[in-house]
Chain A
Amino acid sequence: MREAMRTAKLFRVEQPIDPDLGVTRFLSTWRRRTGAEPCFLFTDVIGAQLPLVMNLPTRTALLREMGLANAPDAIAQLARRLSIPALPKRGASLATSELASLAALPLLRHQPGDAGKYLTAFIGALTCPDTGTTNLGFYRGLVTGEREIVLFMDPRTDAHRIATTALATADRVPITLFNGGPLGIYLAAAAKLPRALDSFDAAARLAGHELMLASNDFPSAPADAEIVIEGHVTRETRAEGPFGEFKGYYCTPTLSPLIVVDRIAVRDDAHCLGLFCGKQSGLTLMALQNEILLFDHLKRTGFDIETVRYPLDAFGEYLAIIESEAPSRAMIIAALDFDPRAKLVVAARPGVDVLKDAIIFPAEVERRPYVRRGREEGQRLGVLCDHHSDYRWVEL
């Protein structure tokens, strides 16, 4: 994260800003006026002891930190890296100063209808009781007290399974929530990785170099994390939500586990990374990990592909575009079967404007039922754009 900050165009906001919708209003106004979402450093978030960095993990920043700034085949390289183990090293944490309360952190209420201030850019680390591996994931966490967080864990995730299994035999389960550190870890935390693969191992593979982790009785955090919150998942559940989700509507309230915080540690010169659901930086993490995983799957299955894209306009999840010199129906089927969240999968030749291509030429279509929370809701489509008509195109 420090390297990404160093190489970013870092816009500096020094006037006091309210974490309760003030940052949201500022960012929304800026985007409306300029059409852009630059990286901002808010140095004076009212009530907070740390500055806040917003909009940092852009695609450029993520790839640059992983040494692939100008690589045209970055997705292919990242997919290749996934197969090369890179076990982390152990070291001392740089987060050694303690904070008494979560109120000292620049945590935001992002939308007017949100239930309160939420953690959105903290990665949760849990230890799998079966394998001993670390599972990393992004969770939204409603701050309900100076040392209390209600953490939503989607029932479909490994984290939910780990916590539920552990709580069957224990009153509480240790959890670490950290902010900052290498951005490759953010990518690994966003990815739907195989259950047996340790998330830190995956992060190191993606980063292309060893990671330094700090550990104690709690699940590990990166040694250079900016903020480390150690606590326990309890059996007590409380209400959280509504919360403005990445697709732009509020989720309904849930009953989720209460996290009791034991310790909040920060680096001496810590910065807090913030992520805004549904905006560029949050969606980029989702898109990039989807691209890597689908590319890897299709290559392993034997397809000759150039790259895979998940456009941010479709939230980095629901539209997959496969670029190949030999797009095929089998490729479409393989992609639809691999990623059940993709509602539209398009295979086309590299550089083709897929919308234009699909409209001008006959396209082949593959259909699958779309299943959401166990119920069929409409259909998913695969579109093969592989025209053979040799038109003479206009030049300008």
Chain B
Amino acid sequence: MGKTDTPSPTVHRFSWEEIAGLTRLLRDRLAGSRITGVAGVARSGLVPAVMLSHMLGVRSFAVLDIARTHSDAVEAEKSRPIRRGSLGLEALRGRRVLLIDDIVGQGLTLDVARRELIEAGAEPVTAVLVVNSANLAGRDARAIVDHWACEVHGWAVFPWEGKEPDDA
């Protein structure tokens, strides 16, 4: 298939230093919000989830395995999120739980994860490192997530993806 004239998406790369800074911004915002559990959305939500569980001094931790993309390429096609399993969820019953992912757009993954926590008897407070405003489809980010530390209009590439700037 030949090349098209479609403009390449805006790609925002994040460094480890920026991730540490964004996580600190979330920590500062969550101070005093009585979080007693943390749940991370696998895979990429686990990185900020682990960092925040340490920063907030919260040891009750769960992993929610929810998949949407089928590849790691920039602008990879997405399907409806699918629950694939969880780990440590039962320990969060009755707790106010910080549910965290790396990025949110339409919010479908976060919706599924939030429902899973509620079904497990937890009270979720949602947070992401980054909101992709290009995927909000006109919705206010507040309707999708409680806290976020950065906003971009385009694709985000995180340092744990191991992609160099020249990688496709």
Residues of chain A at the chain B interface (Cβ within 8 Å): 6-15, 30, 33-36, 38, 41
Contact = CB atoms under 8 A, between A and B. Distances in A.
B22 interface: yes
B153 A7 contact: yes
A35 B152 contact: no
A11 B25 contact: yes
B68 interface: no
B21 interface: yes
Contacts of A12: 25, 148-151
Interface string B1-43: 0000000001010110110111001001100000000000000
Given A33-B21, A38-B18, A11 B153 contact: no
B29 A9 contact: no
A8 B131 CA distance: 12
Contacts of B18: 34, 36, 38
A11 B12 contact: no
- Where chain B touches its partner, the secondary structure class is mixed
Contact of B150 (A7, A9, A34, A35): A9
10 contacts: A7-B153, A11-B25, A12-B25, A12-B148, A30-B21, A33-B17, A34-B17, A34-B18, A36-B17, A41-B151
Contacts of B133: 6
Contacts of A34: 15, 17-18, 20-21
A359 B159 CA distance: 38
Contacts of A13: 25
A8 B153 CA distance: 8
B17 A9 contact: no
B62 to A, nearest CB: 26
Range of interface residues on B (Cβ < 8 Å): 20 to 34
B49 to A, nearest CB: 19
B151 A35 contact: no
A41 B131 CA distance: 14
A9 B12 contact: yes
A10 B151 contact: yes
Given A9-B152, A33-B20, 16 more contacts: A7-B10, A9-B14, A9-B150, A10-B152, A11-B21, A11-B149, A11-B150, A12-B25, A13-B25, A14-B29, A14-B147, A15-B28, A34-B15, A34-B20, A34-B21, A38-B18
Highest count of chain A CB atoms <10 Å: which of B20, B147, B152: B152
A27 to B, nearest CB: 12
Contact of A15 (B14, B17, B20, B29): B29
A35 B21 CA distance: 11
Contacts, number: 44
Contacts of B29: 14-15
Contact of B17 (A8, A10, A11, A35): A35
A10 B21 CA distance: 13
The 6 closest A-B CB pairs, nearest first, are: A34-B17, A10-B151, A9-B12, A11-B150, A6-B153, A15-B28
A41 B15 CA distance: 19
Contacts of B147: 14
A11 B148 CA distance: 9
A32 to B, nearest CB: 11
A137 to B, nearest CB: 32
Contacts of B17: 33-36
A7 B152 CA distance: 7
Contacts of B154: 7
Nearest to B150: A11
Contacts of A41: 151
A274 B157 CA distance: 28
Highest count of chain B CB atoms <10 Å: which of A7, A10, A13, A15: A10
A6 B12 CA distance: 12
A35 B149 CA distance: 18
Interface in B118-168: 133, 147-154
A6 B18 CA distance: 19
A154 B14 CA distance: 41
Highest count of chain B CB atoms <10 Å: which of A14, A33, A36: A14
A113 to B, nearest CB: 28
A14 B25 CA distance: 8
Contacts of A7: 10, 153-154
Contacts of A38: 18, 21
B67 to A, nearest CB: 26
A10 to B, nearest CB: 5
